[in-house]
């Protein structure tokens, strides 16, 4: 079983160290951090969905072809 990583939230000080955010008030910084957090969760969900779809497609192709190999982008065969 994979270990669960502990996620660290971006701090106001860390945000202010980024170009363009140096002069943000605490309220602006907190709102920005919340928005970035929501956006990162959205992107992660989309990434995981795409990853699962690719895995399902590979499994279907392997069942159809009866092999544990798949073709890479270069056209060479890789063991799956």
Between residues 67 and 62, the one the model is more confident about:
62
Asked if residue 60 is part of any domain, the answer here is yes
Domain that holds residue 71: 12-79
Give domain status of residue 5, yes or no: no
Residue 1 falls inside a structural domain: no
Work out the average pLDDT over 20-37. Answer: 98
The total of structural domains in the chain comes to 1
**Helix, strand or coil for residue 58?**
helix
In whole numbers, what is the pLDDT of the chain averaged over residues? 86
Residue 23 has pLDDT above 70, yes or no: yes
Band (77; pLDDT cuts 50, 70, 90): low
d(CA 49, CA 69): 23
The backbone torsions φ and ψ at residue 35, rounded to the nearest 5 degrees and listed phi first, read -65, -45
Which pLDDT does position 72 carry in this prediction? 56
pLDDT exceeds cutoff 90 at 78: no
Asked, for residue 3, whether it belongs to a domain, the answer is: no
The mean pLDDT value for 17-22 works out to: 98
- Flag whether 2 is in a domain: no
């Amino acid at each position: 079983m994979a270990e669960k990583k502990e996620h660290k939230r971006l701090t106001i000080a860390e945000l202010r160290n980024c170009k363009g955010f140096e002069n943000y008030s605490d309220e602006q910084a907190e709102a920005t951090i919340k928005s970035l957090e929501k956006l990162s969760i959205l992107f992660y969900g989309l990434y995981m969905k795409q990853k699962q779809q690719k895995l399902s497609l590979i499994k279907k192709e392997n069942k159809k072809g009866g092999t544990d190999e798949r073709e890479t982008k270069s056209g060479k065969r890789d063991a799956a």
